[in-house]
Structure 1
Amino acid sequence: MNQARQGHTGTLLTNGKMLVTGGGNYVALHSAELYDPSTGTWTTTGSMKHQRRGQHTAVLLTNGKVTELYDPSKGTWTSTNDMHSKRMEHTASLLTNGKVLVVGGLGSGIILDSAELYDPLTGTWTTTGSMNSQRTKHTASV
């Protein structure tokens, strides 16, 4: 890596490279790097709009982008609309219909049972059914 970091995410892109975002090195980072396993090299790519450290998620959308939307072909980030509830320590799962389900987490010091759907076609977040119990630092699979 070009910059030491902990608490970051790693997302496998459709081109076979690994996108590593955020994390911290005594301070929260907004930088991102790409790892190319075919060459064993790291390259710096565009920085995120906001710093992210620990307890954040990264999901590869069906169009190859990641929310905060990363465009692998340009190496740039764009912001999406705000979620209805700020959260950390949540999960984010890509559904078969191309939407992203974000569930639970911690918001304003409260463990959440709420869930939201992100639609990359419209760029909107929609509140959806709540879980039966609150969850944070959990896992989810589709």
Structure 2
Amino acid sequence: MVLLGWLATGNMNDARSDHTASVLRNGKVLVTGGFNYSLYLNSAELYDPSTGTWTMTGYMNHSRTVHTESVLLDGKVLVTGGYDGISYV
């Protein structure tokens, strides 16, 4: 029997809540959007579990929180909906 536990790892570049996360084909985790204290974020970061590091990977056209994120069959990621602090996007 293997017991799984928590493991401390590197910190994100932007602390965030209400974001989305998706596991990509290569095993990395893409995190997009979210809320950081008083800012709605449009940034995206990649987590590499083999190294425990986070890398900034780009910015969405709109800041958003409480949105959805789907990995498509071709490996691309579709981010839809959410709230940008003023209106729903």
Q: Shorter-chain TM-score: what band?
A: 0.7 to 0.9
Match of 1:120 among 16, 34, 49: 49
Q: Which amino acid aligns with 1:74?
A: L
SS in 1 for 2:65: coil
Match of 2:28 among 81, 90, 99: 99
Partner residue, 1:140: 69
Residues in 2 aligned to 1:126 and 1:79: alpha-carbon distance in whole angstroms: 17
Larger Rg: 1
SS in 2 for 1:77: coil
CA apart distance, 1:122: 0.8
Partner residue, 1:129: 58
Residues in 1 aligned to 2:22 and 2:2: alpha-carbon distance in whole angstroms: 23
SS in 2 for 1:78: coil
Of Structure 1 and Structure 2, the greater strand share is in 2
Q: Where do 4+ consecutive residues of structure 1 move more than 2 Å?
A: none
CA apart distance, 1:74: 1.6
Instruction: Give TM-score, length-normalised by structure 2.
Output: 0.75
Partner residue, 1:85: 14
Please, what is the CA RMSD of the aligned residues? 1.3
Q: Which amino acid aligns with 2:69?
A: A
Q: Which amino acid aligns with 1:115?
A: A
Matches within 5 A, 1:3-82: 73-82=2-11
How many residues are aligned here? 71
Partner residue, 2:80: none
Instruction: Give TM-score, length-normalised by structure 1.
Output: 0.48
Unmatched segments (≥5 aa) in structure 1:
1-71
CA apart distance, 1:125: 0.3
